[in-house]
Structure 1
Amino acid sequence: MQGLALLVQQGLKRNPHGGDLFVFRGRAGSLIKIIWHDGIGMSLYAKRLEKGRFVWPSASEGTVSLTPSQLACLLEGI
């Protein structure tokens, strides 16, 4: 979790404690991790698919902003 928070801070130049969700995909595409700070502590959510890969949006500038419904579709594999 600390490594992902450091990646957000140094790589993306964003505040990992600001309340935003930060979603990362593993190299194989079957694992995603989401970190979120709720003002009290950091939370980590991970999901691994047994079959298939997560459909990942293309990021022309290195980051992509998603709406809550887009994130739900991503998590459901739509």
Structure 2
Amino acid sequence: MIPSGAIYLVSGVTDMRKSIDGLSIIVADVLEMDPLSEAWFIFCNRGRDKLKILFWDTNGFWLYYRRLEKGRFKWPKPNYAGHIQLSRQQLNWLLSGLTIENPKAHQPIIGKQVR
């Protein structure tokens, strides 16, 4: 599936024993966001080798789970807000083992006009 709404990386670490109910409580109570929105919420464990993606779709939650057999996700350091908003490109970088601030990627050009 492709995200239709915002994508939020939940900074810090999350207990991967939590399922849909526990993760949605984190979204609602800790992040003070609506888990029933179209947003995707991404959680990672302390070892950075497991992540879960939680999102609401029409009449129920989806919960994606990914476990790496080798390697680690390049998870950013926790911040004050408790979350970081990502673009689809940054999500792809994260899932591909890259940092979300990939310095080698082409950056979008904004405000450029054709002459």
1:13 to 27, 32, 38: 32
Task: Name the Cα RMSD after superposition.
Answer: 1.0
Asked which structure has the greater RCO (Cα within 8 Å, sep 6+), the reply is 2
Counterpart for residue 56 of structure 2: 37
Tell me whether 1:77 sits opposite 2:97 in the alignment: yes
5+ residue gaps, structure 1, are: none
Report the CA distance between 1:76 and its aligned residue: 1.2
Give me the identity figure in percent. 38
Higher-Rg member (1/2): 2
* Corresponding residue pairs, total: 78
Q: What is the TM-score with the length of structure 1 in the denominator?
A: 0.93
Indicate the residue corresponding to 2:87 in structure 1.
Answer: 67
Structure 2 counterpart of 1:58, from 49, 63, 77: 77
Aligned mates of 2:52, 2:30 — CA distance in 1: 16
Deviation at 1:57, TM superposition (A): 2.1
Gaps of 5+ in 2: 1-19, 99-115
TM-score, reference length from structure 2: 0.64
